[in-house]
Amino acid sequence: MALSIEDIKKIAHLARIEVSESDAAATLTKLTGILGLIEQMQAVDTKGIAPMSHSQDVVQRLREDVVTKTNQREAFQKVAPVLGNGSTDQAVDSGLYLVPKVIE
């Protein structure tokens, strides 16, 4: 499967990673190499083999439905990023984590 520079830009946007024009070409070469490897693997006959969703053949352990977490808001807010013109005081007062304005 051949990738284009446009694909690289789209993937970078979806991952919210900034990729400059000059880096895009190098990334294209690397990703194309990885896809080549996958193509090679896909050529292996896997008929009759169940797809694997995890590298270990074990199943999920379950947790009892009991509250174990206590309110640590104060500690968490201390390490929260303060963005733009938002002040720590405002965040603490409202109890909210502040982010740049999002309007749908």
Partner 1 sequence: MEWEVVIGLETHTQLQTKTKIFSGASTAFGSEPNTQACEVSLAFPGVLPVLNKEAVNCAIKFGLAVNAQITPRSVFARKNYFYPDLPKGYQISQYELPVVGKGMITIQVPAVGKNPAYEKVVNITRAHLEEDAGKSVHGAVEGMSGIDLNRAGTPLLEIVTEPDMRSAAEAVAYAKKLHELVQWIGICDGNMQEGSFRCDVNVSVRPKGTDKLGTRREIKNLNSFKFMQQAIEFETRWQIETLEDGGTISQATVLFNPDTGETRAMRSKEEANDYRYFPDPDLLPLEITEADKDRVRAQMPELPEAMKARFEADFGLTSYDAASLTSSLDLANYFVATVHAGADAKPAANWVMGAVSAKLNAEEKSIAQSPLTAVQLASLIKRIMDNTISNNAAKQVFEALWNGEGGVDAIIEAKGLKQVSDTGAIEAIIDEVLAANAAMVEEFKAGKEKAFNALVGQAMKASKGKANPAQVNEMLKKKLGA
Each residue of 5-18: b (16+ CB within 10 Å) or e?
eeebeeebeeeeee
Question: Rounded distance, CA 34 to CA 28, Å?
Answer: 10
Q: Is 42 in the site for partner 1 (CB under 8 A)?
A: no
Tell me the closest approach of the beta carbon of residue 41 to partner 1, in angstroms: 16
Among candidates 73, 79, 68, which has minimal Cα distance to 93? 73
Question: In the set 40, 42, 54, 81, which binds partner 1 (CB under 8 A)?
Answer: 54
Instruction: Give me the count of residues in the chain.
Output: 104
Question: In the set 21, 33, 53, 81, which binds partner 1 (CB under 8 A)?
Answer: 53
Q: Is 96 in the site for partner 1 (CB under 8 A)?
A: yes
Site string for partner 1, 1-40 (x = CB under 8 A): ---------x--xx-x------------------------
